Amino acid sequence: MASFPPSTPLHLFLFFSISISISILPISESQQLQGVCGLEWDPALCSTSGKILIKGGTVVNAHHKEVADVYIQDGVIASVRPNIIVSDDVTILDATGKYVMPGGIDPHTHLAMEFMGTETIDDFFSGQAAALAGGTTMHIDFVIPVNGNLSAGFDLYMNKAKNSVMDYGFHMAVTKWDETVSEDMQIMVNEKGINSFKFFMAYKGSFMINDELLLQALERCKKLGALPMVHAENGDAVAEGQRKMIELGITGPKGHPLSRPPLLEGEATARAIRLARFVNTPLYVVHVMSIDATEEIAKAKMSGQKVIGEPVVSGLVLNDSWLWNPEFATAAQYVMSPPIRKSGHDKSLQAALSSGILQLVGTDHCTFTKTQKALGIDDFRKIPNGVNGIEERMHLVWDLLVESGRISVMDYVRITSTECARIFNIYPRKGAIMEGSDADLIILNPNASFKISAASHHSRCDTNVYEGMTGMGKVEVTISGGRIVWDGELKVKPGSGKYIKMPPFGYLFEGIEKADLALLSSLHSPSRIGRSAA
Ligand SMILES: *[C@@H]1O[C@H](CO)[C@@H](O)[C@H](O)[C@H]1NC(C)=O
Ligand SMILES: *[C@@H]1O[C@H](CO)[C@@H](O)[C@H](O)[C@H]1NC(C)=O
Ligand SMILES: *[C@@H]1O[C@H](CO)[C@@H](O)[C@H](O)[C@H]1NC(C)=O
Ligand SMILES: [Zn+2]
Ligand SMILES: [Zn+2]
């Protein structure tokens, strides 16, 4: 497998300039992304024969691990067993002493998103290249409708994603609610491969929907077999908190966490959970950032409710100390919503994730450069919200939870890949190393170390919220769609990523109608039985 000659930067630069304004390109860009395949380059340099044998590694699935060989052909996993014998035209990778695992699936990203008067610096090309360098082989991004129009939003995002270098799926954000939107949801589910919709309980005056509309939305999702997701913060209270901070003259980045404390996240999480229970539908809470929200999810689970909580890497490994940094540029990097919390919340989120109270881990990767963040220099409300993570997630979670001895390697695969594939109904095509699964996998060396820096990462962002962090466990090889796309160098091919349709009525919906029928019949029974008995 040959890599690219060092003469590629010019070509790269031209490629980038298609989608991005040159003025915001970090200078080091051309050094960061080496080896772009396709276009005028000889494709033979880019594709392996399509046949790869990974020998002698510990193959890890969410339910089992064993020392075995993995044989890959035509983009799928053809065989998993010890001592596979192959012919000469097969690329052989020795994985002795290493882990062979399903590539990561990031359930929560924002690439090429227009937000707060600007657009995220990472698009589907640079964000996915970064993901692959960090061992993530699929992500699910959020389509933002165009003026509330879901179909127009879907078309726009399919276009944004056409230079994809790895597989991707879409959630649909719902930014306003009316009959047309409700109708269009059915088209998204039945024709476009979308099986989840995100609703905003925050962002008053723009995306936020009130309880009446949220109830209608939950009912509609249930009927379609689509998973409702919520951004859970009390938007009215956030608006009031922001007003107070400005009134007090607190206009810098610290005003951000001060204006939207954890209790507002706890309140909205509790409200969404109770409304979902009232409707009897499963619920997915995105970016769980606080003890307050985690406790509500734990309580709901103890009562038997189907609630999924998604922590993100920033919430797991960072605390709010950076937000108090007197340097605006430093503090502003860490502004995201809900905010990164005080130390203590991070540890609780780690505990909840390692014990299964929270089931999978995302990033909310949503990157803006220093220049873009400076839009809020005079007013924290105007700082574009978001942090990086798509490249760092697999490494940081490994070091934090596996290297430290808190979870098994199997559980690592579950929370970084398999559970996401199950929830969004694409398992075992994704999230597994099984015969017939897509050949999206990684080889991780537990004895090698990683170091994170904006100087060496593959995102276009000029900062990294995990700057300087180090740890054990290094993704040495990433295979996407049966091709080696990372082996210390990126070998990505624009347009090689596929859109993955996600069918409705995933496992969380099983049994829902039985519970509904039980409730219905209880309504006619002589003794009174409440909803909670259903
Ligand atoms: C990593 O270290 C372990 C324990 O010492 C060893 O068994 C394993 O073979 C090593 N793996 C590699 C790739 O060096
Ligand atoms: C929404 O967008 C689609 C596709 O661009 C278009 O065909 C449709 O007419 C739009 N609907 C409304 C209500 O504007
Ligand atoms: C909070 O984060 C800072 C900066 O990363 C770190 O130095 C500090 O140790 C953290 N505090 C605690 C209590 O973990
Ligand atoms: Zn959100
Ligand atoms: Zn998000």
Closest-CA residue, ligand 2 atom 2, reads 152
What angle do the packed helices 262-279 and 211-224 form, to 10 degrees?
50
The pLDDT score that the predictor gives to residue 530 is 57
The pLDDT score that the predictor gives to residue 16 is 36
What angle do the packed helices 124-133 and 9-19 form, to 10 degrees?
130
The pLDDT score that the predictor gives to residue 15 is 36
CA of 448 to the centre of ligand 1 (A): 10
CA of 402 to the centre of ligand 3 (A): 20
- Domains defined for the chain, CATH in brackets: 102-233+262-437 (3.20.20.140)
CA of 451 to the centre of ligand 3 (A): 18
Name the helix (H) or strand (E) containing 131.
helix 124-133
Instruction: Say yes or no: CB of residue 325 within 6 Å of ligand 3.
Output: no
Q: Which atom of ligand 3 is nearest to the CA of 322?
A: 4
Please state, in angstroms and rounded to a whole number, the distance separating the CA atoms of residues 328 and 334: 10
CA of 358 to the centre of ligand 4 (A): 17
Instruction: Say yes or no: CB of residue 474 within 6 Å of ligand 1.
Output: no
User: Which contacts (CB < 8 Å, 24+ apart) does range 408-413 have?
Assistant: 409/58, 409/60, 409/65, 409/99, 409/101, 410/60, 410/61, 410/62, 410/63, 410/64, 410/65, 411/62, 411/354, 412/60, 412/101, 413/60, 413/61, 413/62, 413/101, 413/102
User: Which contacts (CB < 8 Å, 24+ apart) does range 40-45 have?
Assistant: 40/11, 41/4, 41/11, 45/2, 45/3, 45/4
Instruction: Say yes or no: CB of residue 98 within 6 Å of ligand 1.
Output: yes
Instruction: Say yes or no: CB of residue 146 within 6 Å of ligand 2.
Output: no
Instruction: Say yes or no: CB of residue 151 within 6 Å of ligand 2.
Output: yes
Name the helix (H) or strand (E) containing 133.
helix 124-133
Please state, in angstroms and rounded to a whole number, the distance separating the CA atoms of residues 402 and 388: 22
CA of 177 to the centre of ligand 2 (A): 15
Please state, in angstroms and rounded to a whole number, the distance separating the CA atoms of residues 477 and 472: 16
Q: Computed over its alpha carbons, how large is the radius of gyration of the chain?
A: 23
Nearest CA among 230, 361, 364 for reference residue 293? 230
Ligand 3 pocket mutation, candidates 314, 318, 320, 321, criterion most atoms within 8 A of CB: 321
CA of 210 to the centre of ligand 2 (A): 25
CA of 184 to the centre of ligand 2 (A): 10
| Pairing mode of beta strands 51-61, 99-102 | parallel
Closest-CA residue, ligand 2 atom 12, reads 149
**Binned average pLDDT, 10 residues per bin, the chain of 534 residues:** 34 34 35 45 50 98 98 98 95 98 99 95 98 98 97 98 98 94 97 98 93 96 98 98 98 98 98 98 98 98 97 98 98 98 98 98 98 98 98 99 98 99 98 98 98 98 98 98 97 96 98 92 73 50
Closest-CA residue, ligand 3 atom 14, reads 343
Instruction: Say yes or no: CB of residue 319 within 6 Å of ligand 3.
Output: yes
Ligand nearest to the CA of residue 171, numbered in listed order: 5
Q: What is the pTM of this model?
A: 0.92
Closest-CA residue, ligand 3 atom 5, reads 318
The pLDDT score that the predictor gives to residue 519 is 86
CA of 350 to the centre of ligand 1 (A): 26
CA of 96 to the centre of ligand 1 (A): 8
- The partner residues of 365 in beta bridges, in order of sequence, read 109, 387
Question: In the structure encoding, which two tokens stand for residue 402, read together?
Answer: 């596996």
Instruction: Say yes or no: CB of residue 58 within 6 Å of ligand 1.
Output: no
Please state, in angstroms and rounded to a whole number, the distance separating the CA atoms of residues 420 and 85: 33
Ligand nearest to the CA of residue 148, numbered in listed order: 2
Please state, in angstroms and rounded to a whole number, the distance separating the CA atoms of residues 223 and 215: 13
* DSSP sequence for 247-312: HTT--STTHHHHHS-HHHHHHHHHHHHHHHHHHT--EEE-S--SHHHHHHHHHHHHTT--EEE--B
- The partner residues of 170 in beta bridges, in order of sequence, read 141
CA of 110 to the centre of ligand 5 (A): 6
Instruction: Say yes or no: CB of residue 512 within 6 Å of ligand 2.
Output: no
Please state, in angstroms and rounded to a whole number, the distance separating the CA atoms of residues 258 and 275: 28
Residue type, 520: L
Instruction: Say yes or no: CB of residue 149 within 6 Å of ligand 2.
Output: yes
Whether residue 339 is preceded by a cis peptide bond, meaning omega within 30 degrees of 0, is no
The pLDDT score that the predictor gives to residue 524 is 83
Q: Residues with Cβ < 8 Å from 214, sequence gap 6 or more?
A: 199, 201, 230, 272, 275
Closest-CA residue, ligand 1 atom 2, reads 447
Question: In the structure encoding, which two tokens stand for residue 130, read together?
Answer: 């970064």
